[in-house]
Structure 1
Amino acid sequence: MKNLKTIFALMLLLSLAVVSCKKDEKDLNENISPIGALSLPANQASIKLTPSNAAATQQFKWTSAVPEDGGLILYEVAFDKEGENFSAPVFKVVSDGGGVQPQITISHKDLTKIAALCGINSSSTGKVNWTVIASKASNKKTGQDIRTLQLERPAGFAEVPTELYLTGSASEGGDDVSKAVKFKKLEDGVFELYTSLKAGTYSLTDKPALAGRKFFAEGASIKEGTSTITVTGNAKAYYLKYDFNVASVIEVSEVQSVGLYMSAYGNEIGQLNYTSAGTWASGIIPVVFYQFSWGRDERYKFAIHTSSGIKYMGSSNVNNVSPVGQAASYFYLNTVTNDQWNNTYKFNPSADNKSIKATVNLGASSPYTHTIVTQ
């Protein structure tokens, strides 16, 4: 009997707790007022896009919506094609502050992507609509104020490749795309490559796989597609540079020679021959430091002769020190001016009146660099 009374008391307490909880429950108020006016940019504003400029941006602003219970509202800016109703926007992005601020700054690079999604081709001008979507919990409200932007796209790709490879029968990797030769990325959308090409064809791709995007050059322009570029004649070393931000072939030049330039003589004291994978190597080169009144001069750099002119590769340091005990970065190669003395390296003192072998590595997989070995 005692146990029955205890069980009854516990059940009564549980019932009271449930009733108490129900009384404390409140309905979630998801109501929000309409979004106010869009304030920036002005309706029908015209923007000339410069996606290659990382600092180029456009700010969007609007008047806040107001929740009935003072809670948090999140915002998204939505973009759609002219004439569409935002039932399926082509692009949405949350506002600043994780979606809580009534504003957002969008880069020209992203606006170029939006223009492409709205059917505006490169080197063309078209219109894009935008508005703001406010949400509180599960309640979303699309703004009634809709504005139009006129966007002018430059030549170039809305989505530039993050990597670039060269493949085809004319390339060092042949037709096997998994062996495609990788370009060095200089900045977003800009790539260069030192390689050799032989008779055959080649194309460009953004990954060493069949599924990669394909590109080709037509005159001074880069286009997306499966067409190829034809090479004739004997195998030769080449320098290639492409800018996908403006869809342009910057340079395709034959590398005619690579010379070891010694500053005090104002001349090249030896030549290097192309081997493979962006590498040139010399035979035996005699080295004699030049005698000045103040001492013997040991400064040098490299001259790359191409069909477009001479490129000099040297040190990032204007005035350099002896290489003895220096880190590997001392030997990194950088594009420098044709100044006779500046941005040069120094031979190891042991190389004076001896012979050396020089190697220049301009492969994409590591920093450009070189080695000097005293014989």
Structure 2
Amino acid sequence: MKRVLSLIWLSCVIIIGASSCKKEVRPLNTNVNAVTTLSAPANAATLTIKTGTPAVTFKWDPATAEDGGLIIYQVAFDKAGGDFSAPVYKILADGGGVQTQATVPQDSLNKIASLAGIASSSTGTLKWTVVSSKSTNLQTGKSSNTIQVTRPAGFAVPPTTLYLTGTATEAGASDLSKAIPFKRTSSGVFEIYTSLQPGSYQFSDKAGSGGTLYFLDANGVIQQGSGSTTVAAAKTTYRMRLDFNVATSNTVEIQSLGLWMSAYNMEIGQLAYLGNGTWENPKLPVTFYQFSWGRDERYKFVLHTSSGLEYYGSTNVNNVAPAGQAASYFYLLPVTNAQWDNTYKFDPSIDTKNAKVDVYFNTSQSSYTHTATVVN
């Protein structure tokens, strides 16, 4: 009987204890009001976007929450006729979303304007408002402002890869997977050494179907679309540079490529263009110059273009012998025409022999490069 009473007593203690530990649960209050006042930029303000210049600060008066809790803000952008039901872009307020302002870089505004359908080098209208939120409760602002935006030339979102295709190109137009890749030299900037023949060409950001297409208009300005550029002249080698940041292009004719020896202060031979940005001389006679202190083996390259001479050599002003050096020893970089500076050195075995010299202005390696080896 005592055992039964003990069990009953213990059960009561457990029930009472559980009841006393039970916390009061209240529903989360997500009620938040919409922002009503936008303070900057002023309504109908004008802005000429210049990327790299100081950011634009968007400001508004705070919303209120029923429980006084934390509110998260986002600035929403839309087209001139939009109602923010599907804004083209949203950006979180400063401080992780809790401040009543958002600092927006001008390059970001350029992208937003592009998404809103405002073309480069054009003026259009952007609408903006502020969305306040608590948990899943979002409130779109009760007011909105407009900005008259003038975009710079160029593409707000430039491609990250670029390919050359078309009937005028070395790869032809029948197979896009064989399109010739450009070398990306910096963000939005591309370069290619190639030959063009009578026909037409265009660019794509993919080596295959489904890519975004671009072409050059009559003024050499980069345009997006399925147009093409016509080539009427006979087959010629060119260097083509495209800068999507400002939508400009520069094409120069490559007339020849010579190997220049410092001691002779002249070119000792020419390389022939083979295709795919590659030049070669399979049998270039090389004789080092005899000084009183020894024989001199220094050299670099001279590119003859329609815009003048360009010299390519080593990153090192004073170089060492090539034996045992890393691949970067042979990288080609733009250098000055200084007689002795930024030169390479031939391997001693090449002296009074023939050298096979190849230059690669293409994407086969991370940097433009060359080889020089002794042949019979």
Q: Report the TM-score when normalising by structure 1.
A: 0.86
Q: Deviations over 1:135-166 (max 9, x none)?
A: 10121122345333222112222332221111
Structure 1 residue aligned with 2:137: 139
Deviations 1:104-143 (A, max 9, x none): 3333332112212333222112221222211101211223
* Correspondence for 2:78: 80
Partner residue in 1 for 2:269: 270
Residues 171, 83 of structure 1: alpha-carbon distance in 2 compared, 3 angstrom cutoff: closer
Shift of 1:338: 2.7
- The amino acid that maps onto 1:205 is S
- Contact 2:33 2:132 survives alignment (8 Å): no
Task: Call closer, same or farther: CA 1:69–1:284 in 2, change over 3 Å.
Answer: same
Task: Return the offset for 1:279.
Answer: 0.9
Equivalent pairs counted in the alignment come to 372
CA offset at residue 194 of structure 1?
Answer: 0.8
Structure 2 residue aligned with 1:112: 110
Partner of 1:356: 355
Q: Supply the AA of the counterpart residue of 2:199.
A: G
Q: What is the 5 A alignment of 1:337-356?
A: 337-356=336-355
Instruction: Give yes or no for the alignment of 1:151 onto 2:165.
Output: no
Contact 1:195-1:238 within 8 A present in 2 as well: yes
Bigger mean CA deviation after superposition, 204-213 or 79-88: 79-88
Q: Structure 2 CA distance, aligned partners of 1:208 and 1:9? A: 81
Q: How does 1:1-375 map to 2 (within 5 A)?
A: 24-35=24-35, 37-51=37-51, 57-82=55-80, 84-174=82-172, 175-219=174-218, 220-249=220-249, 251-366=250-365, 367-375=367-375
Greater mean deviation of Cα atoms: 173-182 or 34-43: 34-43
8 Å Cα contact 1:95-1:103 kept in structure 2: yes
Q: Is the 8 A contact 1:170 1:200 kept in 2?
A: yes
The superposition leaves residues 257-312 of structure 1 with CA deviations (integer Å, 9 ceiling, x where unpaired) of: 11111122221111111112111111322223334455443221111112232222
Structure 1 residues 66, 154: CA separation in 2 closer, same or farther (over 3 Å shift)? same
Separation in structure 2 between the aligned mates of residue 310 and residue 332 of structure 1, nearest angstrom: 19
TM-fit CA distance, 1:78: 0.6
| SS in structure 2 at match of 1:284 | strand
Letter in 2 for 1:191: F
Quote the Cα distance in structure 1 between the aligned partners of 2:27 and 2:17.
Answer: 19
Tell me, yes or no, if the aligned pair for 2:300 and 2:311 is still in contact at 8 Å. Answer: yes
SS at match of 2:275: coil
CA offsets per residue over residues 164-221 of structure 1, 9 Å max, x none? Answer: 1111222222221011000011122211101122232221111112211111111221
Whether contact under 8 Å (1:182, 1:365) holds in the other structure is no
Deviation of 1:364 after TM superposition, in Å, equals 2.1
Distance 2:248 2:168 in 1: 21
Letter in 2 for 1:29: N
Task: Indicate the SS of the match to 1:265.
Answer: coil
Structure 1: 5+ residue stretches without partners: none
Worse-superposed segment, 194-203 or 231-240: 231-240
Please give the alpha-carbon distance, in whole angstroms, between the structure 1 residues aligned to 2:127 and 2:144. 7
Two-structure CA RMSD over aligned residues (Å): 3.1
Q: Return the alpha-carbon distance in structure 1 between the equivalents of residues 298 and 271 of structure 2.
A: 18
Instruction: Report the residue type matching 2:181 in the other structure.
Output: K
